[in-house]
Amino acid sequence: MTNSINRSAGLSRRSVLRGATALGAAALILPAGMRAASAEPKKGGILRIGMGHGSTSDSLDPGSWDNAYSQVFATSRHNYLTEIDADGALQPEIAESWEASADAATWTFKIRQGVTFHSGKALDAEDVIASINYHRGEDSKSAAKPIVDGITDIKSEGSHTVVVTLDAGNADFPFIMSDYHIAMLPAKDGAIDPTTTDGCGPYVVDHFEAGVEAKMTRNPNYWKSDRAHFDGIELLPIVDGAARQNALISGQVDVIDRVDLNTVHLLKRAPNINVLSVTGSQHYVFPMDSRAAPFSDNNVRMAMKHAIDREELVEKILNGYGSVGNDHPISTANRFHAGDAIEQRTYDADKAKWYLKQAGMDSIDLELSVSDAAFGGAVDAGVLMSEKSAAAGINLKVTREPSDGYWSNVWMKKPFVASYWGGRPTEDWMFSTAYKSGVNWNESFWENARFDELLAAARSELDNDKRREMYVEMQGLVRDEGSTVIPMFASYVMAHTNAVATPEKVAPNWTMDGFRIAERWWFA
């Protein structure tokens, strides 16, 4: 069941109209940093959150937290070894401190004393080890298995020290321990129970019904005194965009995420509502299969990269809520973003033609397989791309694939597809997840010896200046030789009532203040 869309005149007219409204809306958005400074946090109140995810099949199993609902819910009841703060820096959480061996292959974590689970059990090294081990090993069913695969051994030294040995140096290992899957759960006989709601986080779960609601109250024994300001949290899945918006306007919830970008201008008009837009590491990509012609020729890839109008995509697909990408996956929120060291790529049909000529062609027919499963607006983005690339002699046929089963049947199967990444807090993490040769999620099957060499070197390098140099070179490599078109970074767009107060800076690493809305926000 495949529908083909070839540059339709109707859609282009609509896109133009939409673009016009987007410009208007964009003018009204204040960047997160410029919002009114918030007063001192106050305790009290029940925060009701309407999330655009959540379904009846959600589970408590840490290996299966695949949507923002599960992730916010998990972060509300659990703690992690480390935490990424609003500036993208790493902060201690359950791990009080950590140090690496000289080759960054052995990491020693000091575990915080006096932390108790909701059940009253005191947390120690055994819980930490069991929580990490749950994702490792032959029988692991966890989505986080690939990121802890590098661990060869974990052992405790005393009751509050954990020593982790890796198969190779990794200077960013403590960052990985902040991953939302790797929550600290109570261990029993050396294993965690993946069906428990018990944790050592800010809120205690009173009631959870998958796809309906989760109700939590503040953990009276929470070890952080300056966090968890609400008396309780109610987390509701409201998947329909209009229903979510209505619930906010009619006062049935206090905060929503995933504001529908087509109607955000209407929401802004409602009294007492603030729209909050955070530019983070989430980006939308179009990987090309570099193993086979025509994409095995870098000239074709470069032609494609020059033949898309990034500004237009940000305006029309994201309604201005985002920023242009430069064909590498590192966001401005990352530590080693290249910044001005690498020039921003723009739409240039002549250059695209030139690259096509280098590849020995005057024009080329390509097929782009898209679905809104990849990201909302992916199909429209494909149509916009095909309209612009035509001028460069690239005839892009956009094929709409069914959303159902997109990740198993289209992604990494068809030669040119749409995909998205929530982004990773570190360069190494992002690169080694999707750009290193031969890794599972290298969606473009790109292989580059120099890149792999730099990746390995930078990973165990502890000198930040040297690392920056290497990461900037790698961003350049992905941009100019890589096989992925990265046209845009999408902001996380949320909305809340005036009654809700946020910290001055809202974290850009994930939606809902890095999933930590429950412990970072408060009622004004």
Q: Smallest distance from the beta carbon of 11 to another protein, in angstroms? A: 22
> Which stretch of DSSP H or E encloses residue 176?
helix 173-176
Q: Smallest distance from the beta carbon of 170 to another protein, in angstroms? A: 19
Which residue is associated with the tokens 């935490």?
83
Other Cβ atoms less than 10 A from the Cβ of 496: the count is 23
144 in Cβ contact with 182 (< 8 Å): yes
Q: Smallest distance from the beta carbon of 191 to another protein, in angstroms? A: 15
Please say which residue, 245 or 326, places its beta carbon nearer to another protein: 245
Q: Smallest distance from the beta carbon of 210 to another protein, in angstroms? A: 6
* Residues near another protein (CB under 8 A): 50, 55-61, 64, 66, 138-143, 145-146, 195, 209-213, 236-240, 242-243, 246-247, 249-253, 402, 404-405, 407-409, 411, 419, 440-441
Please say which residue, 419 or 432, places its beta carbon nearer to another protein: 419
Distance separating alpha carbons of residues 94 and 115, to the nearest angstrom: 8
Please say which residue, 253 or 366, places its beta carbon nearer to another protein: 253
Angle between helices 427-434 and 464-481 (to 10 degrees): 40
3-state secondary structure of 495: strand
194 in Cβ contact with 180 (< 8 Å): no
Distance separating alpha carbons of residues 496 and 502, to the nearest angstrom: 10
Q: Smallest distance from the beta carbon of 220 to another protein, in angstroms? A: 23
Distance separating alpha carbons of residues 261 and 169, to the nearest angstrom: 42
Specify the amino acid at residue 503.
Answer: P
Q: Smallest distance from the beta carbon of 87 to another protein, in angstroms? A: 27
Angle between helices 449-459 and 464-481 (to 10 degrees): 160
161: CB partners within 8 A, 6+ apart = 108, 109, 110, 111, 125
Q: Smallest distance from the beta carbon of 198 to another protein, in angstroms? A: 17
Q: Smallest distance from the beta carbon of 424 to another protein, in angstroms? A: 12
Cis peptide before 294 (omega within 30 of 0): yes
Q: Is 345 exposed, middle or buried (0-12, 13-18, 19+ CB in 10 A)?
A: buried
355 in Cβ contact with 323 (< 8 Å): no
Q: Smallest distance from the beta carbon of 145 to another protein, in angstroms? A: 5
Q: Smallest distance from the beta carbon of 496 to another protein, in angstroms? A: 17
- Nearest CA to 393 among 364, 360, 357, 359? 364
Distance separating alpha carbons of residues 507 and 491, to the nearest angstrom: 11
Q: Smallest distance from the beta carbon of 276 to another protein, in angstroms? A: 21
The dihedral region occupied by 190, where left means phi > 0, alpha psi between -120 and 50, and beta the remainder, is left
Q: Smallest distance from the beta carbon of 361 to another protein, in angstroms? A: 32
- Nearest CA to 515 among 94, 180, 272? 180
Please say which residue, 56 or 225, places its beta carbon nearer to another protein: 56
Please say which residue, 199 or 503, places its beta carbon nearer to another protein: 199
Please say which residue, 54 or 201, places its beta carbon nearer to another protein: 54
Please say which residue, 92 or 146, places its beta carbon nearer to another protein: 146
Please say which residue, 4 or 250, places its beta carbon nearer to another protein: 250
Please say which residue, 31 or 405, places its beta carbon nearer to another protein: 405
Please say which residue, 70 or 386, places its beta carbon nearer to another protein: 70
Distance separating alpha carbons of residues 7 and 22, to the nearest angstrom: 22
Strands 255-256 and 492-497, bridge-based pairing: antiparallel
The length of the chain, given as a count of residues? 524
User: Per the structure block, which two tokens stand in for 453?
Assistant: 């060499």
Distance separating alpha carbons of residues 70 and 60, to the nearest angstrom: 8
String of DSSP letters for 453-485: HHHHHHHT---HHHHHHHHHHHHHHHHHH-SEE
Distance separating alpha carbons of residues 108 and 100, to the nearest angstrom: 6
Please say which residue, 58 or 254, places its beta carbon nearer to another protein: 58
Q: Smallest distance from the beta carbon of 472 to another protein, in angstroms? A: 28
Please say which residue, 40 or 269, places its beta carbon nearer to another protein: 269
Please say which residue, 302 or 379, places its beta carbon nearer to another protein: 379
User: Per the structure block, which two tokens stand in for 16?
Assistant: 């133009």
3-state secondary structure of 185: coil
